[in-house]
Amino acid sequence: MMEAQSYRVRVGLATCGIAAGADKTYDQLVPLLAEHGIVPERTGCLGMCFSEPLVEVITPTGDSYLYGGVTADKAAAIVEQHIVGGKPVEELLALASSAATENDHFMSKQHRVLLEHVGVIDPESIDSYLAFNGYKALIKAVNEMTQQEVIKEVQKSGLRGRGGAGFPTGMKWNFTYQAKGDKKYVVCNADEGDPGAFMDRSILEGNPHALIEGMTIAAYAVGADEGYIYVRAEYPLAIKRLRIAIKEANNHGYLGNKILGTNFNFNLKIKEGAGAFVCGEETALLASIEGLRGIPRPRPPFPATSGLWGKPTLLNNVETYANVPAIFRLGAAEYSKVGTESSKGTKVFALTGKIKKTGLAEVPMGITMREIIYDIGGGIQDDKEFKAVQIGGPSGGCLPAEQLDLSVDYDSLTAAGAMMGSGGLVVMDETTCMVDLAKFFLTFTQSESCGKCTPCREGTKRMLEILERITEGKGQPGDIETLEELGSAIRDSALCGLGQTAPNPVLSTLRYFRHEYEEHINEGKCRAGVCSNLISYFIIKDKCVGCTVCAKNCPVNAISGERKQPHEIDQSICIKCGVCYEKCKFDAIILK
Amino acid sequence: MKATHQCHAADPFDYAPVDEILERYQGQKGATIPVLQAIQEVYGYLPRQAMEYAAKQLRIPFSRIYGVATFYAQFHLTPRGENIIRVCQGTACHVRGAAKIVDALKEQLGIEVGETTEDLKFTLESVACIGACGLAPVIMINNDTFGRLTPEKIKEILKNY
């Protein structure tokens, strides 16, 4: 290629990069690089959120240097020192193909199939996708295979739904294929609402054509001619890039009427969500596309037989569809070599919370939690003690340190009281209170409950009241047992997935961290120092130098004392905001 | 002349944008939500007159439109500020101190979550998760995302609006 003669520069421009200032870095680079005849390329998320903004320099010989923390003011250094001077800027280097960096583990333990081209291609250009075998899978499926053969191939790959319970994808396709109907729909659930999950956003922003290609293959297989992508309105950049991608795919004949010159038609539209978590549930999502309140209905009938406007409808999430082109590119046999017996392929996880290297990681199924958190994620922030990891969002559960060597696959996670869910991993250290965390999740599901069925509407409210009482230090004997009873009743009787899984965070923290609940109730103690009614701040007289900083910052004037004399906190006035604790430079204030 | 004329004069509400929106979505199935989204885009919120008018034109009961408008968190029935601040309440933000960011915003703006400042400059809202968890804690002002926040940074950011 001609470009190989000169340097190439890529800037990661997904939401997280832009939030860290990557757009300003890009604007700064444009004129600087123009002098050397280089146009910087835009790309999606490289997954290394911890060192955004990211700029990749590819040398004429093909070596890659990834720079991290490249704010606009540092752009010039990269151009002058590396591109003009030929010397890599060591202090900004996050990853290099020819040299060791501290982040090597972040990439080396990953297995990137889905994210292979995210962060490489320009998501706003179909040519960029085509350059990496884009739409080859569709061409193969439509031109060389029958509908049944396509479905067989997906079944053979062992792919399971990446959005929640892990239903076998090929089986779902087959149900929709066999359903009788003059009209069928293919719908994508891109309503990624789990707090702590952003892998779908990264695919939508970084490689939207992979989703479109996967959906088009699905439409061919089940016999659908119309499709919808239901995206949350909170993802404006994803929506913008999807619109561009759909338009380009239409122009190139990969979407629309007479695809690839055959009689296969598939018209794809975007529906913007309007902010309701319950719309991640399939029947609620379909109601929302129909323009109604997003309220789930009982199943059966399943969407495969009676979905959108009563027609057979195939519904999968972003990551599931995005896996499909890889299955056809590699072949089902090759694809399914990765993973465990019952969980094939890879899974993308969003690593967040108190972890050193926050970001996106795609790993083979069957990897251990320890490898994800310590090898890829670099361990716990400030080298504190690992306490728990929350997996699967508000529907999932918390796993303690004893479970760190658990194999990460659908069945092991479910057996341990958690679930794969969408793939958010929130890591917590000793400063997280597990009762408070359970309360946080229940507050969320309670406010997102649509109110249709009683177990969810009333049950989660009663559970939340008990949790609030416990965190306020007013817990009563018998509260734990009531929580367990309510939790299992809701799990067994709620109408939809949201309600059935809502008690999970409470039940799993009760399973592994029961002692913390007991401490709150019986001893009035919160070991993490989070529940403000259960903690008090004290000044250690020997350490206090009387600098008066704490007294000046106290919003309620609860601290008194002479200058250069030890101060004191009046516990009857203190509101436990923690400002004094943060402001004290002498570690003279402690939390009990 | 003119009871009808007077009636029009008494209703100075500008329905033209609603007409334009209804025309755009004419004949499309399940257009209620996109129509409401477009109306909110124009007026900044969902004025009752606009919803009543749209219901009449679409030949659906007002109760159905109102039901949809009150179900989804995105829709607002009262005027909102010029700048919308959304504080992320996702898990990652929660464990990294989102509560303190909310407190700082409340203090700076002098309003509670869900309220609008008197000068209609800012509306403060909370949102389930923006999906920029790697940069937690995060807020969004209009379409811009700000990450790795501390309470101290809030003042600086607000200055630009």
pLDDT for A329: 94
Dump pLDDT digits (tens) for A357-367. Answer: 999 999 999 99
Written as one letter, the residue type at A564 is K
- Whether residues A356 and A438 share a domain: the answer is no
Query: Distances in Å between the alpha carbon of A575 and those of A92, A531, A545, B109?
Result: 43, 12, 23, 21
- Whether residues A82 and A158 share a domain: the answer is no
Dump pLDDT digits (tens) for A544-557. Answer: 999 999 999 888 89
Q: Which of A477, A494, A523 is the last residue of a domain?
A: A523
- Residue A196 or A279, more confident: A279
The continuous run of DSSP H or E covering B126 comes out as strand B122-127
Instruction: Indicate the pLDDT class of residue B5, thresholds 50, 70 and 90.
Output: very low
Q: Which of A404, A429, A454 is the last residue of a domain?
A: A429
Asked, for residue A555, whether it belongs to a domain, the answer is: yes
> How far is the C-alpha of A240 from the C-alpha of A13, rounded, in Å?
13
* pLDDT (average), residues A180-203: 92
Which residues are within 8 A (CB) of A334 and not within 5 positions of it... i.e. 6 or more apart?
none
- Whether residues A206 and A58 share a domain: the answer is no
Nearest chain A CA: its distance from B15 CA (Å): 22
In this predicted structure, the answer to whether residue B9 has a pLDDT above a threshold of 60 is: no
Between strands A537-539 and A589-591, the pairing is antiparallel
CATH number at residue A39: 3.40.30.10
* pLDDT (average), residues A448-462: 96
Q: Residue B9: helix, strand or coil by DSSP?
A: helix
- Whether residues A270 and A143 share a domain: the answer is yes
pLDDT for A264: 98
Asked, for residue A340, whether it belongs to a domain, the answer is: no
Q: Say what percent of chain A tops pLDDT 70.
A: 99
CATH 3.40.30.10 describes domain B83-159:
yes
CA A170 remoteness from chain centre = 24
Asked, for residue A47, whether it belongs to a domain, the answer is: yes
* pLDDT (average), residues B126-145: 85
Dump pLDDT digits (tens) for A81-95. Answer: 999 999 999 999 999
* pLDDT (average), residues A140-156: 98
Which residues are within 8 A (CB) of A308 and not within 5 positions of it... i.e. 6 or more apart?
A185, A187, A228, A286, A289, A290
Strand partners, A451: none
CA A564 remoteness from chain centre = 50
- Whether residues A157 and A66 share a domain: the answer is no
CATH number at residue A424: 3.10.20.600
- Whether residues A405 and A496 share a domain: the answer is no
Nearest chain B CA: its distance from A259 CA (Å): 23
CATH number at residue A281: 3.40.50.11540
Total domain count, chain A: 5
Asked, for residue A119, whether it belongs to a domain, the answer is: no
* pLDDT (average), residues A388-403: 92
> How far is the C-alpha of A9 from the C-alpha of A35, rounded, in Å?
14
Residues on chain B touching A293 (C-beta within 8 angstroms): 67-68, 71
Q: B68, B94, B102, B144: best mutation site toward chain A, by most A Cβ within 10 Å?
A: B94
> How far is the C-alpha of A409 from the C-alpha of A414, rounded, in Å?
9
pLDDT for B100: 87
Of B91, B126, B111, B46, nearest in space to A197 by CA? B91
- Whether residues A330 and A361 share a domain: the answer is no
Q: Which domain holds residue A9?
A: 4-103
Nearest chain A CA: its distance from B68 CA (Å): 5
Asked, for residue A116, whether it belongs to a domain, the answer is: no
Nearest residue in chain A measured CA to CA from B132: A16
Contact B29 A234 (CB under 8 A): no
Q: Alpha helices of B11-115 — where are they, by DSSP H?
A: 16-24, 32-43, 48-58, 62-71, 91-95, 98-109
Asked, for residue A531, whether it belongs to a domain, the answer is: no
Maximum CA pair distance of chain A?
Answer: 87
The pTM (predicted TM-score) of the whole model is 0.91
- Whether residues A271 and A329 share a domain: the answer is yes
Q: What is the ipTM, given to two decimal places?
A: 0.85
- Whether residues A130 and A50 share a domain: the answer is no
Written as one letter, the residue type at B115 is E
Contact B131 A234 (CB under 8 A): yes
Nearest residue in chain A measured CA to CA from B35: A291
Q: What is the SS3 string spanning A397-443?
A: EEEEHHHCCCECCHHHHHHCCCCCCCCEEEEEECCCCHHHHHHHHHH
Which residues are within 8 A (CB) of B86 and not within 5 positions of it... i.e. 6 or more apart?
B125, B126, B127, B130, B139, B140, B141
Tally A–B CB contacts below 8 A: 144
Q: Which of A308-312, A457-461, B12-16 is the least confident region?
A: B12-16
Q: Residue A169: helix, strand or coil by DSSP?
A: helix
Is A269 in CB contact (< 8 Å) with chain B? no
- Read off the tokens for A299: 């199943």
- Whether residues A470 and A486 share a domain: the answer is yes
Identify the residue whose tokens are 């007002």: B62
Phi, psi of B4 (to 5 degrees): -65, -40
Asked, for residue A115, whether it belongs to a domain, the answer is: no
CATH number at residue A496: 1.20.1440.230
